[in-house]
């Protein structure tokens, strides 16, 4: 009988909540590499934007490709910073615009939809997130218009 009571107590404690020592949830954004990566992506976006405006799509594509791993690393943290999400959004927008100029409307639309979802779900909503959301909607409408024609 004592074994049964002991076994029941053991099972009840094993199924109960456990004490977990959780470190602060978002330590990665406080590390030096994170801000450096954000700044690198912002600079890369500026260079790619200038190249795209100059019609140099191959060089733009190379920079966009170079930025993809940075974007992935920045967004892989639990709660990316607004600056990281903006830089990632800018890279996606550049890629979408480049695809649009190359008449890859479906792929471009997909990237613009990604930005629309990103800014629709961002909290807290601000004037800037609303502006970015409207830009994404405009790009999607442009894709739709071009796909029909």
Burial 31-60 (b: 16+ CB within 10 A, else e): eeebeebbeebbebbeebbebbeeeeeeeb
CA distance linking residue 72 with residue 80, whole number of Å: 11
* pLDDT given for residue 24 in this prediction: 55
49 versus 25: the higher-pLDDT residue is: 49
pLDDT at 8 over 80: no
Distance between the two ends of the chain, CA-based, in angstroms?
Answer: 82
Please give the tally of structural domains in the chain. 1
Q: Is residue 23 part of a domain?
A: no
Q: Is residue 61 part of a domain?
A: yes
Label residue 14 by pLDDT band (50, 70, 90).
very low
Kindly report, residue by residue over 30-69, the tens digit of the pLDDT.
899 999 999 999 999 999 999 999 999 999 999 999 999 9
CA distance linking residue 97 with residue 81, whole number of Å: 24
- Phi first, then psi: give them for residue 45, nearest 5 degrees: -60, -40
What pTM value is reported for the model? 0.81
Q: Is residue 110 part of a domain?
A: yes
* pLDDT given for residue 149 in this prediction: 79
Q: Is residue 16 part of a domain?
A: no
Q: Is residue 42 part of a domain?
A: yes
* pLDDT given for residue 71 in this prediction: 98
Q: Is residue 15 part of a domain?
A: no
Residues whose CB falls within 8 Å of the CB of residue 125, separated by 6 or more in sequence, listed in order: none
CATH number at residue 40: 1.25.40
Q: Is residue 24 part of a domain?
A: no
Q: Is residue 113 part of a domain?
A: yes
pLDDT at 17 over 70: no
- Could you tell me the residue range of the domain that residue 54 belongs to? 32-148
Kindly report, residue by residue over 94-136, the tens digit of the pLDDT.
999 999 999 999 999 999 999 999 999 999 999 999 999 999 9
């Amino acid at each position: 009988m004592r074994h049964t009571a002991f076994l029941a107590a053991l099972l009840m404690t094993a199924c109960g909540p456990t004490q977990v020592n959780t470190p602060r949830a978002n330590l990665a954004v406080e590390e030096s590499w994170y801000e450096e990566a954000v700044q690198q992506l912002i600079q890369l976006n500026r260079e790619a934007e200038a190249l795209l405006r100059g019609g140099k799509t191959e060089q733009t594509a190379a920079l966009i490709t170079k930025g993809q791993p940075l974007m992935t690393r920045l967004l892989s943290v639990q709660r990316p910073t607004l600056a990281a999400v903006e830089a990632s959004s800018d890279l996606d927008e550049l890629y979408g615009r480049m695809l649009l100029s190359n008449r890859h409307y479906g792929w471009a639309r997909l990237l613009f939809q990604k930005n629309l979802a990103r800014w629709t779900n961002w909290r807290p909503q601000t004037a800037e997130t609303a502006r970015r959301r409207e830009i994404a909607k405009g790009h999607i409408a442009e894709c739709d218009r071009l796909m029909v024609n």
